[in-house]
Structure 1
Amino acid sequence: MASYVVRCGTMRTLHVMQARLSYARGMRVIARTARGLEAGEVLSEADERVLKQMDSPPGGTIQREMTEEDESELAHLAAKSVEEADKCFEAIQALELPMDLVDIERIFGGERMVIYYLSESRVDFRELVKRLANEFQTRVEMRQIGVRDEAKLLADYGDCGKPVCCNTHLMKMPPVSMKMAKLQKATLDPNKISGRCGRLKCCLRYEYDIYEEHRKMLPKIGVDVVTANGRGRVLNQELLSRQLLVQMEDNRRLMVHADDVLSVIKRPKTGSSSSSVNPQVELQEKNKDRHSADNE
């Protein structure tokens, strides 16, 4: 029995599903998950390489390829969800609950309705669930989400002009910190480095590992280096181009490539009378290790 990676639901959850028939990438299917019957999209075969990149994905089975009747039913559910959202909002207002309605998801098989909401505190929504279950005659599931998940559900395009990452290829939100923006010398203006969710952009995480790798390989800011042009002190690093801004002994400032550094002279620590010298061989070995890793 073949296995496939299938994306299902409003939250675009990845499942590893069993199937008796063969399916191609991009095919729309009806699958059974822990939530019931759902519409999904086949992404790839679940081979060993793919499974190593997934962290305990939920399972399921592919029932069949989606038919025209299934497509019509999906369109009907989408149109109906607008009216259902209005009724849900009215019920929340009537009960004066401290929560913001974000989205409503109707499971294809009709087993349940999932309501996504934002709230800064615990919400007693038992009465709300009773009202909605009686109104829609289905099981109602409440799911509290964060602002990043809200963007995943509602956002369209980012500042780059492309669809937001959280609503396309990102399955998990990577941790992002201001340290990453500073290392990449991005503007620290919150309006420019914040995404549609109001938090730091996820794309600040994408190249951070490369920047960090280059930073560790280059001589640190403040150390003395010996170059073909003489001795000087490192004032700044250009990480991607692997260049250094060096102030020479005659106060000239030159951009020097890391490969042109002959040796690095560390300043002695307080109470120490000696300095340690790292020859060019060490720098070349680091570069060699980096190139070997790239080739692998």
Structure 2
Amino acid sequence: MMTEQSYGVGQKVVVQGKRGPEVATVRGEAAPMPAGGRYGMILQEASADDLNRWAELGREAEDLKWLLRARARTRGLPVKIVAAEYTLDASLLTVSYSAEERIELSALIQDLRGHTRARVNFAAVGPREQAMMVGALGACGRENCSSHHLQEFAPVSIRMARDQQLPLNPEKLSGPCGRLLCCLQFEHTQYLDLLQDIPRKNAKVCVEGSGACGKVVKLHPLQGTVDVYTDQGLLTEVPASELRPQKDGGKPDGNKEGQGERPRK
């Protein structure tokens, strides 16, 4: 958001949304606006009239959402009506829906003709967008990021979980939407930096001083240590700075830079 006036966290404002003017709540400090972009720009502080009108439009849109759900059920349409939202000027009603297959929506559009003068737009949404609209609590006990502050969904991969040494348990790595947690990508760059100075898993290493050698079985990026299973059958946690790659024959290689494969950024 970009504006010359300062707005406090929690303050109600009118912003330029993707579809038109909307009432929004300030969540944090203003971020730089992309060149030529207007989406998210604060237009003005929301007045009492703006808030009353936004609340009235919200109630009307909620009634239309339930109307569409009932009509879809009556017509046997395999569609889930997720949300219905007006712009502040009431010129556009956006109906968000999800369906496993392509369906004909013309009948539902006709059902709305006698209930609103606004232009109607049906928009298909995925699981992440549904969680953003409906709202939910994350595993951390706080409101999920998508409905709190995220403006766009960045790609999230299982590699991010591996780099953070997290157990690959789908139940623990999935958010309320059933997809990989958005927060996995928040600290990914930091983990990549930490892993630069740590031997890769299964690397053959030797400990300086003791001369004990073995295989790296677990990484602790935040602590800067690894678990080494020694050739003597002992499991020990060792600072990465005290490790050297193992030469053929079981002796440490003095070249520290060969500690192992580095993760790709």
Which TM-score band (shorter chain)? 0.7 to 0.9
Task: Give the TM-score normalised by structure 2.
Answer: 0.80
Contact 1:265–1:278 under 8 Å retained in 2: no
Aligned to 1:66: 46
Cα distance in 2 for residues equivalent to 1:146 and 1:119: 9
More strand by share: 1
| % identical aligned pairs | 24
Task: Give the TM-score normalised by structure 1.
Answer: 0.73
How far the C-alpha of 1:106 sits from its partner, in A, is: 1.4
Superposed CA RMSD in Å reads 3.1
Cα distance in 1 for residues equivalent to 2:53 and 2:25: 16
Secondary structure at the counterpart of residue 192 of structure 1: helix
Aligned to 2:127: 147
Aligned to 1:288: none
How far the C-alpha of 1:115 sits from its partner, in A, is: 0.2
Contact 2:94–2:123 under 8 Å retained in 1: yes
Cα distance in 1 for residues equivalent to 2:35 and 2:76: 39
Q: Please, which moves more after superposition, 230-239 or 248-257?
A: 248-257
Contact 2:213–2:246 under 8 Å retained in 1: no
Structure 2: any 5+ residue segments left out of the alignment? 260-265
How far the C-alpha of 1:201 sits from its partner, in A, is: 1.7
Secondary structure at the counterpart of residue 135 of structure 1: coil
Aligned to 2:179: 199
Please state if 1:24 is matched with 2:7: yes
Amino acid at match of 2:159: K
Q: How many residues align?
A: 254
How far the C-alpha of 1:193 sits from its partner, in A, is: 2.3
Q: Please, which moves more after superposition, 204-213 or 33-42?
A: 33-42
Contact 1:230–1:248 under 8 Å retained in 2: no
Equivalences for residues 274-289 of structure 1 within 5 A: 277-280=253-256, 282=257
Aligned to 2:61: 81
Structure 1 residues 183 and 68, CA, compared in 2 at 3 Å: closer, same or farther?
same
Secondary structure at the counterpart of residue 204 of structure 1: helix
Q: Please, which moves more after superposition, 152-161 or 246-255?
A: 246-255
Aligned to 2:21: 37
Aligned to 1:230: 211
Equivalences for residues 1-296 of structure 1 within 5 A: 5=1, 22-26=5-9, 27-31=11-15, 35-41=19-25, 44-45=29-30, 50-51=32-33, 57-59=37-39, 63-220=43-200, 221-236=202-217, 237-261=219-243, 263-265=244-246, 277-280=253-256, 282=257
How far the C-alpha of 1:192 sits from its partner, in A, is: 2.5
Residues 88-107 of structure 1, C-alpha deviations (whole Å, 9 max, x = no match): 22232343322110011011
Cα distance in 2 for residues equivalent to 1:112 and 1:217: 54
Cα distance in 2 for residues equivalent to 1:189 and 1:45: 36
Residues 220-267 of structure 1, C-alpha deviations (whole Å, 9 max, x = no match): 323232411114023322222121223445444432211222x32355
Contact 1:133–1:140 under 8 Å retained in 2: no
Cα distance in 2 for residues equivalent to 1:118 and 1:266: 58
Amino acid at match of 1:145: V
Structure 1 residues 248 and 23, CA, compared in 2 at 3 Å: closer, same or farther?
closer
Contact 1:184–1:211 under 8 Å retained in 2: yes
Cα distance in 1 for residues equivalent to 2:35 and 2:181: 23
Contact 1:265–1:277 under 8 Å retained in 2: yes
Cα distance in 1 for residues equivalent to 2:42 and 2:188: 38
Secondary structure at the counterpart of residue 198 of structure 1: coil
Amino acid at match of 1:245: D
Cα distance in 2 for residues equivalent to 1:167 and 1:178: 22
Secondary structure at the counterpart of residue 167 of structure 1: helix
Structure 1: any 5+ residue segments left out of the alignment? 6-15, 269-274, 285-296
